[in-house]
Amino acid sequence: MVAEKIDQCMKPHGEEGIETIQNMNENHKEISEFAFSCINVGAEDEILDIGCGGGVNIEKFLRITQGNVDGLDYSEVSVSESIKRNKAAIDDGRCNVIQADVTDMPIDDESYDLVTGFETIYFWPDLGETFKEVSRIIRPNGRFMIAQGTDGTHPDDEKWLATVEGMSVYTAPELKKYLLNAGFKSVESFKKADDYILVVIAQK
């Protein structure tokens, strides 16, 4: 049962996938709130949220920037739910949500000022190469923000790693090394006090 739930978190699908997305919207609220407190968003920033899930963070970003805020997810259900949640912005031409794989995104070079990944990099393959693909779509001096519920020392990490094939967790120093090797020029880390929540922001 645990493995089935994690499989839904990796790629929500079917009716259960919709329920999973609704649960993630609620359960990830604290992580999202901390991440938003760590980043200053420009008034005209163009933003892409990778692994956008139910589109909650797209919705938040749309409130604080006049630029476009797009989403990308490889789950058909996630894309559908994100579109439903942000329909008004999509109708206004301020948002586009696509189904695609982060390792090969159908996006032009240097398209965004800010790219984000909330609770998603655990499942990204070949992190070094994938970070290079993310860097490709970020404008010079743009940023990539990673937000996750563990800093790599959470007591439950080993349980999840033993249960879920293909899942990985990373510490801040590990992420910094991957990001610098992928071409980002600086990396900052933020850890929530008395918690395991980690936010890493890399600048191109």
Domain-located, residue 126: no
Most confident of 8-22, 72-86, 175-189: 175-189
- DSSP state at residue 123: G
Beta-bridge mates of residue 70: 48
The CATH code of the domain that includes 161 is 3.40.50.150
SS3 103: coil
d(CA 77, CA 83): 10
Sequence-distant (6+) residues with CB within 8 A of 18 are 12, 77, 81
CB 56, CB 34: distance < 8 Å: no
Write the pLDDT tens digit of every residue in 125-172: 899 999 999 999 999 999 999 999 998 888 776 776 677 677 889 999
Domain encompassing residue 191: 2-121+131-203
Q: How many domains does the chain have?
A: 1
* Bridging pattern class, strands 198-203 and 138-148: antiparallel
Domain-located, residue 77: yes
Tell me the pTM: 0.86
SS3 37: helix
Domain-located, residue 189: yes
Write the pLDDT tens digit of every residue in 2-51: 344 444 444 444 444 444 455 554 556 899 999 999 999 999 999 999 99
